[in-house]
Structure 1
Amino acid sequence: MTIKLAAIDIDNTLLTSAPARALTTQNLQAIQQVTQLGAKIVLCSARPLAGVKRYLSQASLSGDDQYVIVDNGALVQTVTGHTIGTQTLPAATVVKLVELCQQNHWHYNAIDDSSTMCTTDTRLGFYTVQLAAKYQAPLEVLPNSAAFLERVFAKFDITEAPELLDHIEPKIQELCGTDYYVVRSRPFLLEVLNRDANKGRALTNLAAQLGLKKNEIMAIGDEVNDLPMFAAAGIGVAMGNAVPAVKEAADFITTDNDHSGVGYAIHKFMLDL
């Protein structure tokens, strides 16, 4: 087995489509088989750790020698919550983004290093609440923008209807794009992160800590925020339901997320050799 670590996106990759968002039996069995052989399965997500824990439990990934890449690469943690790598946002930047969103009446939140979603937006927009439920993360309304200075934040999210976010995204790219990593990870979700925070950089840093080479890594994903993982891996696998840019960048296209594409790729590159 030449691939020793599989970095796997969660939503619309490891999990089936909404509303079920389930871990299929085939995916689960493949993960358990490959981990029993000593390989690492690293779940990589825009979610915070709180939104990943249930899938770690289902896949029997536990202990301080198993890892996750969360908040789109801002944090590398053990599955027990010990942080081993960070690329967080300066608090002053978060405050500026908060004030910009307040001025424009955009719904937003910032996720701190303990998975809490923070906002001053008492309106609590639909997509913000939906995201908190999906992440299984606490949602805290802070009294004012100054309160953000007391936290450490992994990322800043603007959550709006896709057609509105289409107009917001170019403005945020122009404002932040050269100094920060700005990525549209879902049609309704625009994220601002530390310039050095992405799944690929986090994966490269984790691999270095584990003593793994690029050709010993496989990355599986479906969205543009997964592309940096492909650059960090020897094999990039696009889901059958991936967006066109991800398919074009992939070394292999597996079946879609509703037909256990992750399990198929694990068998092809890690088990059935």
Structure 2
Amino acid sequence: MTAKFRLLAIDIDGTLVNSTDDVSDRTRRAIEAAVRAGMVVVLASGRRYSRVVPIARELGLSTPVVSSSGALIKETRNHTTLWRADFSPELLRRVAHALRRSGFPLALLGDTFTDGFDYYVDAQGPTNDYMVRYLDLNPGCHRFWNDFQNHVPPDVFAAFSLGTREEMEGLAAELHRTLPGLLTTNVLKSPRYEGFFCEMMPCGTTKWSAVCRVAAQWGIRPREICAVGDDVNDLAMISGAGLGIAMGNACEEVKAAAQWVAPSHEEDGLAYAITLILEGRVPQTA
């Protein structure tokens, strides 16, 4: 293995898994080879923690995982929280008010995995068909919350809404207009759900900031990190890493930021990239 890269940060949807939500045998073998070669492998996903854990266990990874686009870092062996974004009660109230005014539903991701659920839903806020179907597909994963004005939910680190792409991009723009400098947002399409997500985190929260926190545990510097992803919530880590790789199925903005574009997730592009790294054959454009 080339000693240049000591940590591999991997997005899940559109990168690690294919369109049927499976990790191919070739990709699994490549990750195992990276671990044997001494690389630290970190899953960095926009998924909530409960949906990252099964993937980490399937791959036999014991390293911390980064979830909810960098807003949470957890230890999967005992579900200990290593770090989470600080979503202040006042900011939560202002976000809830903004979404009610805009007419979109609000869900708040809480550090509640050990309590048996993942997020709170604003019971007094608006809803839409996208959120209704999302809740139907995730039974038991939420609790309704009634009083944002006087008592906000505890341990919240991120939030999201659902709608069409145009609606969510408009919502993100409105949030940045009314709450300038207070939020990081990403508008994303999940292959599992209808509609688009608008993710909301405290300003400065990204996968990259979280990956760097994890890397610091091993004294790993940014230039020793390789990051692989496909969507806008991967931009910061692809731009900041020593080697940023976009998948062939990545959006154009991510491809433009990457130093190299691998084959798509349907072509085992991640496995191909890992093989080149381990063999010291990273393309010269990197």
Instruction: Work out the CA distance in 2 between the residues paired with 1:135 and 1:272.
Output: 43
Instruction: Work out the CA distance in 2 between the residues paired with 1:136 and 1:252.
Output: 40
After superposition, the Cα gap between the structure-2 partners of 1:47 and 1:177, relative to the gap in structure 1 and judged at 3 Å, is farther
Structure 2 residue ranges without an equivalent (≥5): 190-194, 282-286
After superposition, the Cα gap between the structure-2 partners of 1:43 and 1:190, relative to the gap in structure 1 and judged at 3 Å, is same
Deviations 1:10-53 (A, max 9, x none): 11111112xx2111111111111211233211111111210101
- 1:132 is displaced (CA, Å) by 5.6
* Residue identity (%): 24
Match of 1:41 in 2: 41
Match of 1:117 in 2: 119
Instruction: Work out the CA distance in 2 between the residues paired with 1:54 and 1:255.
Output: 25
- Map 1:61-210; keep pairs closer than 5 Å: 61-62=61-62, 66-80=63-77, 81-115=79-113, 116-121=118-123, 125-128=128-131, 131=134, 138-146=141-149, 149-186=152-189, 188-210=196-218
Instruction: Work out the CA distance in 1 between the residues paired with 2:50 and 2:156.
Output: 15
Instruction: Work out the CA distance in 1 between the residues paired with 2:165 and 2:248.
Output: 23
After superposition, the Cα gap between the structure-2 partners of 1:271 and 1:48, relative to the gap in structure 1 and judged at 3 Å, is farther
Deviations 1:47-94 (A, max 9, x none): 1210101111211113xxx11111111112222322222222112211
Instruction: Tell me the SS of whatever aligns to 1:16.
Output: coil
After superposition, the Cα gap between the structure-2 partners of 1:15 and 1:133, relative to the gap in structure 1 and judged at 3 Å, is farther
Structure 1 residue ranges without an equivalent (≥5): none
Residue 267 of structure 1 pairs with residue 264 of structure 2 = no
- 1:154 is displaced (CA, Å) by 1.3
Asked if 1 retains the 8 angstrom alpha-carbon contact of 2:44 and 2:69, the reply is yes
Instruction: Work out the CA distance in 2 between the residues paired with 1:210 and 1:133.
Output: 41
Number of residue-to-residue matches in the alignment: 268
- 1:272 is displaced (CA, Å) by 6.0
- 1:152 is displaced (CA, Å) by 1.3
After superposition, the Cα gap between the structure-2 partners of 1:240 and 1:262, relative to the gap in structure 1 and judged at 3 Å, is same
Residue 244 of structure 1 pairs with residue 247 of structure 2 = no
After superposition, the Cα gap between the structure-2 partners of 1:71 and 1:156, relative to the gap in structure 1 and judged at 3 Å, is same
Asked if 2 retains the 8 angstrom alpha-carbon contact of 1:88 and 1:154, the reply is yes
After superposition, the Cα gap between the structure-2 partners of 1:272 and 1:132, relative to the gap in structure 1 and judged at 3 Å, is farther
The TM-score normalised by the length of structure 2 is: 0.85
